[in-house]
Amino acid sequence: MTWATTVANINTQLSAVTGIGQVINYASDQTRHEDVVAELVSGSILNGAMIRRESYSERQSGGSGYRFIGKHTVKVTVVYSKKQDGSKQADFDALLDAIAAKLRSNDSVFLVQPEDGSEAVDITPISDRMFGNMLVHHAEVRFVVEEVFEI
């Protein structure tokens, strides 16, 4: 499975979460962040998720042949407009829980369980912030996915 296939699977899973808004894939080039956020704006509502690969490592697996295991550290930035009628922190927390549950329950996204026994999907709430002229709830969801490939 390639990175393109992996990110497409992640996109499919996130897009199925009710209330997430648009899901956008973008390269690890942080300078494009503002352009991507502008794409998420719909009227006066800013809801969405942006998928980014933070790091990549690979190693050759044991045995003969050229079989490699790659690990991608993925960060999904989730924003949820506070301008929505009745938008509460509890609604945003429920959205984050739904995202984590969706990622954990899917076989097409090969999550790596951390060796220290912590959660495979790490959610880090970040203070509410302004994106342009919009106040949003903001969090980052991190996880590691694995791909196996042979040359």
Quote the domain boundaries for residue 25: 3-150
Identify the residue with better confidence: 97 or 117: 97
pLDDT (tens digit per residue) in 67-112: 777 888 888 989 888 875 666 888 889 999 999 998 888 776 777 8
CATH code at 90? 3.30.2000
User: Quick one: tokens of 28?
Assistant: 């690890």
**Spatial distance between the Cα atoms of 76 and 98, rounded to a whole number of angstroms:** 14
pLDDT at 35: 63
Number of domains, the chain: 1
Burial of 73 (0-12, 13-18, 19+ CB in 10 A): middle
pLDDT at residue 28, as a whole number: 45
pLDDT of 25-83, one tens digit each? Answer: 765 445 555 665 666 565 566 788 888 888 887 777 666 667 777 888 888 989 888 87
Amino acid 140: pLDDT: 92
Tokens representing 32? 């494009």
pTM above 0.95, yes or no: no
- Is the separation of the CB atoms in 80 and 95 below 8 Å? yes
